[in-house]
């Protein structure tokens, strides 16, 4: 078995991960022989490979997040747009990559979590803040580039 596969896994908060990004992840995991685990509350299609698996969790708030945090190991990479999940991943020694290519690590997660909480408070007062803009080609490229940098760093460890 490849040494990189033994060292870390890629976990995907799959319910909210756009399919175009999942495709990028499947290619990278296959190319580098890294185990990739999708965690979702509904079945989904993915390429057949011994490297890829799907963990189904019951529907409900944060069920996939909790499963990822329970099963991940320090050094694993988690793909998520969920800031509280990213904070838990970092707290548990993992790295988190957002769907637009943002790296959540010890240096950045505190600020991102604080901003998310402020926006949550603003929304709770009834202010419409709008949702995130749709993913575009530049976002996909940023994600792919950051993923490549992270995987290269993790493999070299």
What CATH number has the domain bearing residue 25?
3.40.50
- Per-residue pLDDT tens digits for 47-56: 999 999 999 9
Of the chain, the percentage scoring pLDDT greater than 70 comes to: 84
Torsional class of 94: left (φ above 0), alpha (ψ -120 to 50), beta (otherwise): beta
Instruction: Say how many domains are in the chain.
Output: 1
| pLDDT computed for residue 2 by the predictor | 44
pTM for the whole structure: 0.84
Sheet holding 36-40, edge to edge: 52-56, 36-40, 10-13, 77-79, 95-97, 103-104
Average pLDDT score over residue span 69-82: 95
Of the chain, the percentage scoring pLDDT greater than 90 comes to: 65
The confidence band for 121, taking pLDDT boundaries of 50, 70 and 90, is low
The confidence band for 3, taking pLDDT boundaries of 50, 70 and 90, is very low
| pLDDT computed for residue 134 by the predictor | 84
Please give the residue range of the domain that contains residue 76. 3-129+137-156
């Amino acid at each position: 078995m490849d040494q990189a596969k033994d060292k870390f896994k890629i976990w995907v908060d799959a319910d909210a991960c756009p399919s175009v990004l999942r495709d990028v992840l499947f290619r990278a995991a296959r190319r580098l022989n890294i185990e990739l685990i999708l965690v979702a509350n509904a079945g989904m299609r993915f390429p057949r490979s011994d490297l890829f698996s799907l963990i189904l969790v019951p529907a409900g708030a944060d069920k996939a997040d909790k499963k990822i945090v329970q099963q991940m190991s320090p050094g694993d990479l988690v793909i998520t747009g969920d800031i509280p999940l990213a904070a838990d991943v970092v707290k548990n020694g993992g790295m988190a990559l957002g769907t637009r290519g943002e790296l959540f690590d010890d240096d950045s997660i505190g600020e991102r979590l604080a901003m998310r909480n402020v926006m949550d408070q603003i929304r709770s007062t009834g202010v419409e803040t709008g949702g995130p803009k749709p993913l575009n080609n530049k976002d996909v490229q940023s994600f792919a580039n950051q993923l490549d940098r992270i995987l290269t760093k993790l493999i070299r460890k």
